[in-house]
């Protein structure tokens, strides 16, 4: 576990998501009733089918390894089968429900993402609302205080995490004002150096470093909008979501070999296994569902007119 990179990567994803979702609402779907419906339908199709497969795999994994004396919470404390009404969060992914046990151990971040989807049409239509979201989030952060002891709640709860999404959304609104800062190589190098800051200041990632990382992630996001993607980028993008869902589940099986220890061999085996499972899920689930996505009516912001539908 590399603390800085682990924490900063999740909030970096939140910044990227805030930017991309605002961008597609403005330039692909349009902030119309149909646009919002198409956006919501495509998000559900993207998120839930693979998630529910991972949810079943998670429950089966916890039960199977538990019968062999393996405590998977040593890998991730939230990797548990919930009881009673605590199933509402993992079943719906709605952040309004509390969580106590997650068969997909990292799904708390996904739950926050789902909650933000309800706000994105507002963030996209009125940048003032995105500013308001950032302000509300800052108030929530200030209420908890910025210290290592409050990191867990600031990192995993909806309102404190909203600042990252709002930053991404505002970056989309004001992108033209910052084009002079586009530096793909420099931004990534600085982000990586900052991610290693825990080596000389171990409390930094858990306190103010998390918020410095949001600014740096916004810089990377801005810079990479000028980057021309390749087929390899497309493949990695396809693999990224199932990889996120199953890496803890797959890794848990290697506890049969290494127990609660995490040597490099554990990482290598888990990474390879998770990559293989992710590829299978991409081929059997993600790509087969893609033709079902609704083709959005492309919105022209200047004329207010819609063009012919095209593939999302």
The predicted structure's pLDDT at residue 31? 82
Q: Is residue 243 part of a domain?
A: no
Q: Is residue 159 part of a domain?
A: yes
Q: Is residue 147 part of a domain?
A: yes
Chunked mean pLDDT (size 10), the chain, 312 residues: 83 96 93 90 95 97 96 94 94 92 93 95 96 97 94 93 97 95 95 92 92 97 89 92 96 94 93 97 94 76 43 38
Number of folded domains in the chain?
Answer: 1
Q: Is residue 14 part of a domain?
A: yes
d(CA 199, CA 312): 42
pTM of the full predicted structure? 0.89
Q: Is residue 75 part of a domain?
A: yes
Check the CA dihedral 127-172-10-223 and report its sign. Answer: negative
Q: Is residue 288 part of a domain?
A: no
Q: Is residue 301 part of a domain?
A: no
- The whole domain housing 214 covers 3-227
Length of the chain: 312
Q: Is residue 278 part of a domain?
A: no
């Amino acid at each position: 576990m590399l603390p800085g990179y682990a924490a900063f990567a999740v909030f970096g994803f939140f910044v990227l998501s805030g930017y991309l979702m605002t961008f597609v609402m403005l330039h692909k779907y349009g902030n119309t009733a149909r646009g919002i419906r198409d956006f919501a339908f495509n998000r559900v199709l993207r998120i839930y089918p693979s998630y529910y497969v991972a949810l079943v795999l998670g429950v089966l994994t916890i039960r199977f390894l538990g019968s062999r004396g393996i405590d998977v919470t040593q890998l991730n404390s939230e990797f548990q089968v919930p009881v009673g009404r605590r199933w509402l969060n993992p079943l719906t992914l709605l952040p309004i429900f509390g969580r106590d046990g997650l068969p997909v151990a990292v799904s708390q971040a996904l739950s926050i993402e789902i909650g933000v989807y309800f706000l994105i049409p507002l963030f996209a239509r009125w940048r003032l609302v995105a500013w308001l979201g950032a302000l509300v989030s800052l108030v929530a952060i200030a209420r908890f205080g910025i210290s290592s002891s409050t990191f867990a709640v600031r990192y995993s709860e909806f309102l404190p995490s909203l600042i990252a999404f709002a930053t991404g959304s505002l970056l989309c609104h004001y992108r033209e004002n910052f084009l002079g800062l586009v530096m793909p190589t420099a931004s990534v190098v600085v982000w990586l150096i900052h991610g290693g800051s825990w080596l000389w200041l171990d409390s930094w990632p858990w306190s103010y470093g998390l918020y410095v990382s949001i600014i740096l992630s916004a810089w990377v996001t801005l810079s990479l909008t000028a980057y021309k993607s390749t087929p390899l980028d497309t493949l990695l993008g396809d693999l990224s979501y199932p990889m996120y869902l199953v890496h803890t589940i797959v890794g848990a099986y290697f506890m049969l070999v290494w127990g609660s220890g995490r040597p490099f061999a554990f990482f290598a085996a888990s990474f390879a296994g998770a990559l293989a499972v992710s590829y299978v899920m991409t081929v059997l689930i993600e790509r087969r569902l893609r033709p079902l996505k609704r083709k959005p009516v492309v919105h022209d912001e200047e004329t207010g007119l819609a063009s012919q539908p095209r593939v999302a």
